Each structure stands twice: as structure tokens, then as C-alpha cells.
Chains A and B, each alone.
Chain A
């Protein structure tokens, strides 16, 4: 036996949302009705794409566009990307997108009657450093209405997309803000059974990250699947 072959750990029960979540209406026709087929992780799942900042230039300051300041409350968002064992995930790309301060996306299909901001595109891209740390500057996104149920509003949130070390570590998530009264009413946030797991999607205000006379700081740490050594029979 040797332990050189490692696979990514299974997700802990209850910590991921169920695609069949009737309270989130769009899931009705889009969730698979059959059980997923569990497969062994092979070369395809254990490896994944690599992105370099030279090929994909970072956009670290979303609060400015073409040299002009976006409207809204400027904030700093920072944190670490680590695996389940606390090991840093270095050099991985984070893609970020969000609504503007008024709660409107710079997107043709967003019909919310709130103003667009020509100085805010709402898209960013950063890479983690050797310690797994990342940081970007943006505008606090506004809440906005959606058609899920009468008087439905999404809580303030920033979308994140991460790749990590393998195809099996892909993560799409949303960061929320502390104390948001809409969280308890939001079927997307509430879709995850494990309360502690979903509460980790809520960032924390961090005075140490806050830059005097400039911007409040919010900390959001992200955990990707860790590796599990498995004995391999030769």
C-alpha cells in the first residue's frame, strides 16, 4: 500500500444546499429528480484549470472605473482561501460580481427600477497570495427585489467564483453582510440545512481591515475541499 494518491473529501452532510428547494421557485424544473451517480475521482476530477494574473489581469478596485469613483459606500473585502485542513490555497483565482449601491446589476436583463452607475461595472478578479490571502475594494451592494414570492428581496450580497486545485473543488457562492434583516427571509440563504454552515457565508465587520477616512472592512474566509489520503492497493 502507499498513500501517495489523495482524493478530495466528501462534503459534510447538511453543509451544502439541496437543489430541490421548493421555496426557491426556480429550482422546480431545474433540479435533477434522480440521485447523483457517485464516481471515483480520477485524473479529470483531481486536476483543474490554472489561471495566471498575466493571462487574466486582476481587477482589484471595483469602486473606480476609468478613473472615476463609483457611487455608494466604499468597502474593503478581504480574507483567506484555505482547505479543510487549514492549508492555504495559493495562487487561485477569485471572480467577483455584484449589484451596484442601488441594487441594480449592469446587466441587460436586470429590469429593477433603480439607477445604473456608469462608474461601476460590478465585476472583479483577484488571485490569492502565498498565504491564501485575497483583498479587493468595491461598493457595498444594495438589496433588490426579485419575483420569487410577494415582496421578495435579496439580501445584500457579493457573488464569488473559485476554482481551487482541482475540477472537484469548484465553488460558486455568495457573501452576505452581518445583521441583514433579509437573511432570515431569503430562500437561497435558508436552503442549507446546517445553520452554522450557512452563517459562515455572512462576512464579519473588521475594524483592523477598515482604512481610516476611506472604507469599512469586511472579512470573508473561504474553505475549499481538503485532501484525504487513501490507501491504494498496488
Chain B
């Protein structure tokens, strides 16, 4: 058996791939509740990452010709990423469990040799209490690092802290 190819950093020049239309997951005409998802990516000294690549993937609604389920956003000089997408519904989890609505997030940047995986949940969704992944995090403070707040109608915000006291819970998947 051959081992999986070794990861390397995406580096500072990945923008040669960038297509800002990929920030809008509804661009092919998806139906549903349109939401905006935004936040900052910050390092352990509190400095925003101006060169990060943030990707989202969602298994709900199911990917189709009109909805890719996938988005990519560069962070700007203030470390801000932004997506427009369709609000996900609950999806099946392990066993008979149901997972609360969530987005999978991937963070890639200069200085990250292996991409970071995390999730974004929607604060105040009652389904969060029974979510099988959130339930793995004992500390409420740590769990809160995955909970996006609604900062304006239809706009959800979550900051990603790569390191430090507010370090985001990153996942081994």
C-alpha cells in the first residue's frame, strides 16, 4: 500500500488560482434561504492573516448543478473572509444521530504545512445541544469557538483563531 502524498503549504501566492465568484455558492441559481457567512482569521499574536485561503463545504443542501456546496474566499488585509450560501439543514450523523446544521471550514495559508479543518455551527440553533460532534467538546468556551453569531439579519459571523487563548477547535477528520 502506498501512503497518502505528503501535504505542503499553500504558500503566499495561491491567489493565482483565485476566482472571487467562488465566494458565492448561489451563483448557479441555487434555491433556499440565502445567508452571508463572514469572519476573520487571526494568528496567535492577534494579527489578521492577509494571505489565507478559506474554503467551505456543506453536505446540505445536497450538491447539484445549481449548488456546488463548495466555496473559496481569500482573506483581505483585515483577515476577513466572506461567503454567500444557502443555510444548511440538519444532516445524518453517526448511528441514528442527527447533526445540527453546519459548514465544514478549511483554512490554508503560508505557515500552515497541513490545512486546518473546523466547523461552523449556527449559535442558538436548538439542535446544537444534541450534535454528536459538538458534544465531543466538553468545555462550553471551547465549543463556542465553532458557533457563529448572527450579526445582522441573514449574516453569520465567526472568527478563526489559529493559536492562543481563544484558539479555535480544529478537527482531525
Contacts and interface: CB of A to CB of B under 8 A. Distances in A.
Contact of B115 (A97, A109, A172): A172
Contacts of B106: 167, 170
Contact of A107 (B9, B16, B59, B136): B16
Nearest to A234: B95
B57 A48 contact: yes
A222 B115 contact: no
Leading 10 A-B pairs by shortest Cβ distance: A26-B111, A49-B70, A17-B113, A30-B111, A29-B43, A36-B172, A97-B16, A174-B8, A29-B44, A123-B16
B1 A84 contact: yes
Contacts of B78: none
A101 interface: no
Given A105-B16, A110-B13, A41 B173 contact: yes
A229 B51 CA distance: 38
Given A29-B44, A159-B11, A168-B173, A44 B4 contact: no
Contacts, number: 209
B17 A123 contact: yes
A231 to B, nearest CB: 13
Contacts of A122: 16
Interface of B: 1-17, 43-45, 47, 49, 51, 55, 57-59, 63, 68-70, 91-94, 99, 102, 104, 106, 108-116, 119, 132-133, 136-137, 162-164, 167-173
Interface stretch (A131-139, A177-185, A191-199, A206-214): A191-199
A86 B2 CA distance: 7
A33 B111 CA distance: 14
- Of B45, B104, B115, chain A has the most CB atoms within 10 Å of the CB of B104
B113 A191 contact: yes
A48 B108 CA distance: 17
8 contacts: A9-B4, A32-B168, A37-B137, A38-B171, A40-B94, A84-B2, A170-B106, A171-B5
Interface residues of A, number: 72
B3 A21 contact: no
Interface of A: 9, 11-12, 15-19, 21, 24, 26-34, 36-45, 47-51, 82, 84-86, 95, 97, 99, 105-107, 109-110, 121-123, 159, 161, 167-168, 170-174, 188-189, 191-192, 194, 197-198, 200-201, 222-226
Contacts of B55: 170
Given A44-B99, A167-B106, 7 more contacts: A16-B7, A16-B114, A30-B111, A40-B132, A84-B4, A172-B10, A191-B113
Contact of A17 (B7, B92, B102): B7
A98 to B, nearest CB: 8
B57 A42 contact: no
A16 B8 CA distance: 9
B12 A109 contact: yes
A42 B7 contact: no
